[in-house]
């Protein structure tokens, strides 16, 4: 246990300290009178919550972003989103470099051959690569949105460009902040706004290691790393599977998809599924959804996006590896395999540890929130999973959970953003060898 704590305190503490410093800096800036509109209160709790939500690219908000914050405040949020999104992609990828550097020679060579992207000495290449991907995707989304706001809605170019850039950053970083009080519900019938935002969220949720593999071998899927194959495959399955489930469940709901035409219902269902990847924007009223849809969303938000991406959750690779472990056990196979590759037992234990500790975090957060707020389990669970998964979707109770509730959600956002990343790195670095083994005994299970 002491060795594990030491591993957590080695490279991972730098990540935690860096994010904490940015959160505190953002809190200080958002607490300034210049950051809030006249007549609004510069509350420390509100500033801390908003700064944490922006840096952890969550999107939960206790205030109407456009109405409460001035242009200065909005720019602070924009910068915090960009730092949070770029930082988590960079630091998560660099931690992978550190992990590969601490492994034995054979394991290190296997890791580099498998990922085809990361290895000791690649830190500069990782940072440059992440910056290029971020700039390219955000620019494309910003141009598309700006053109739509100018052509379709007659907005002045300056205002359209500002909205385009802000929401492009919000989408790619999976931050979920919007400059309209109804998120983007006013654009539910506009695919020229919804689709760029949805695709931006999906793109941000893939992660730099996947982009590096695609850049080298996009024409040859057989040469893709196992990580890239799992990430892309599970993203597609969860994205379209979630869209189908949400669309079917909400098809006749008069408060959400019911008033829309069949084509627009499919668009809205797809958009919501994409946002549960960790996007956080909403084109329909979440509070009017069926409880079944909330449960589907809970599952999708908890799984989250890809590793070393701007998205949160336990990550699609963690979920997929758990499925492979279960499948191997049901088949009675001695090894866990995926794509003709054997999954190491140590990685299986890491996956199980991250998943169970994440479940414990959500359960604990839900229990505490039930104690300090008057809301029922379904709404509280949705809010907790959204915070832990750094998603930002809400049934509308965020502003009303009180100071205690806001502090709990703030802690969940921070833990959910950094917990799986730092814990995964610490577990990978925590490798011990023993010169003896205890006698085996099988307790009953099931």
**What's the pTM value of the predicted model, to 2 decimals?**
0.88
Calpha distance 389→392 (Å, rounded): 8
Phi, psi angles (nearest 5°) of residue 338:
-145, 125
pLDDT for position 144: 96
| The most confident of 61-70, 286-295, 327-336, 434-443, by mean pLDDT | 286-295
Q: Which two tokens stand for residue 227?
A: 């990580």
- pLDDT at position 220 over 90: no
Calpha distance 258→256 (Å, rounded): 6
Q: What is the dihedral of CA 432, 436, 437, 438, to 10 degrees?
A: -120
- Lowest-pLDDT range of 262-266, 322-326, 430-434: 430-434
Calpha distance 419→421 (Å, rounded): 6
Contacts of 199 (CB under 8 A, 6+ apart): 141, 274
Calpha distance 49→47 (Å, rounded): 6
225: left (phi over 0), alpha (psi -120 to 50) or beta: beta
340: left (phi over 0), alpha (psi -120 to 50) or beta: left
Q: Is 346 helix (H, G, I), strand (E, B) or coil?
A: helix
Token pair 């890239």 is found at: 228
**Cα-atom radius of gyration of the chain, to the nearest Å?**
22
pLDDT tens digits for range 239-271: 999 999 999 999 999 999 999 999 999 999 999
- HSE of 352, CA atoms in CB hemisphere, 13 A: 10
Closest residue by Cα to residue 84 from 58, 110, 64: 58
Calpha distance 413→212 (Å, rounded): 28
The H-assigned helical ranges of 205-315 are 208-217, 226-250, 262-275, 291-303
- pLDDT at position 104 over 60: no
Calpha distance 205→301 (Å, rounded): 12
Q: Where are the domains of the chain?
A: 2-429
Taking residue 164's Cβ as centre, other Cβ atoms within 10 Å add up to 26
- CA dihedral sign, ordered 265, 266, 272, 275: negative
Strand partners, 338: 341
String of DSSP letters for 372-424: HS---HHHHHHHHHHHHTT----SS-GGGSHHHHHHHHHHHHHHHHHHHHHHH
pLDDT tens digits for range 179-215: 999 999 999 999 999 999 999 999 999 988 888 888 8
pLDDT tens digits for range 353-401: 889 989 999 999 999 999 999 999 999 999 999 999 999 999 999 999 9
pLDDT band, very low/low/confident/very high, at 338 (cuts 50, 70, 90): confident
Taking residue 124's Cβ as centre, other Cβ atoms within 10 Å add up to 8
Contact 389, 301 (CB under 8 A): yes
> For all residues of the chain together, what is the average pLDDT?
85
Closest residue by Cα to residue 171 from 244, 69, 278, 295: 278
Give the mean pLDDT of 282-306.
Answer: 95
């Amino acid at each position: 246990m002491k060795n594990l704590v030491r591993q957590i305190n080695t490279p991972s503490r730098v990540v935690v300290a860096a994010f904490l410093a940015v959160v505190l800096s953002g809190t200080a800036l958002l607490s300034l009178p210049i950051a809030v509109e006249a007549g609004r209160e510069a509350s420390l709790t509100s500033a801390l919550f908003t700064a944490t939500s922006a840096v952890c690219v969550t999107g939960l908000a206790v205030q109407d972003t456009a109405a409460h914050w001035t242009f200065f405040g909005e720019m602070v949020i924009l910068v915090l989103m960009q730092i949070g999104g770029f930082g988590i992609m960079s630091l998560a990828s660099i931690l992978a470099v550190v992990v590969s550097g601490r492994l034995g020679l054979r394991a290190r060579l296997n890791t580099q051959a498998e990922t085809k992207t990361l290895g000791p000495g690649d830190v500069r290449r990782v940072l440059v690569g992440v910056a290029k991907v971020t700039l390219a995707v955000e620019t494309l989304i910003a141009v598309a949105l700006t053109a739509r706001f100018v052509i379709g809605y007659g907005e002045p170019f300056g205002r359209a460009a500002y909205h385009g850039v802000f929401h492009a950053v919000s989408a790619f970083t999976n931050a979920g902040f919007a400059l309209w009080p109804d998120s983007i519900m006013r654009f539910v019938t506009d695919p020229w706004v919804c689709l760029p935002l949805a695709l931006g969220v999906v793109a941000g949720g893939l992660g730099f290691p996947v982009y590096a593999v695609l850049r080298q071998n996009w024409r040859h899927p057989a040469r893709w790393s196992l990580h890239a194959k799992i990430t892309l495959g599970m993203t597609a399955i969860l994205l379209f599977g979630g869209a189908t489930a949400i669309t079917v469940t909400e098809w006749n709901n008069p408060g959400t998809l019911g008033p829309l035409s069949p084509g627009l219902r499919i668009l809205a269902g797809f958009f919501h599924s994409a946002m549960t990847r960790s996007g956080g924007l909403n084109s329909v009223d979440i509070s009017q959804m069926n409880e079944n849809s909330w449960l589907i969303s809970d599952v999708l938000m908890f799984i989250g996006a890809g590793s070393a991406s701007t998205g949160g959750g336990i990550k699609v690779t963690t979920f997929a590896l758990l499925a492979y472990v279960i499948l191997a056990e049901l088949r009675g196979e001695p090894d866990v395999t995926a794509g003709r590759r054997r999954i190491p037992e140590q990685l299986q234990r890491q996956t199980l540890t991250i998943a169970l500790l994440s479940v414990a975090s959500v359960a604990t957060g839900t229990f505490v929130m039930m104690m300090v707020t008057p809301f029922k389990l379904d709404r509280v669970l949705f809010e907790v999973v959204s915070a832990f998964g750094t998603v930002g979707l809400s049934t509308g109770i965020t502003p009303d959970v009180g100071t205690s509730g806001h502090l709990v959600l703030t802690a969940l956002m921070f833990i959910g953003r950094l917990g799986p990343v730092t814990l995964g790195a610490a577990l990978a670095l925590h490798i011990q060898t023993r010169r003896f083994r205890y006698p085996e005994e099988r307790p009953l299970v099931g």
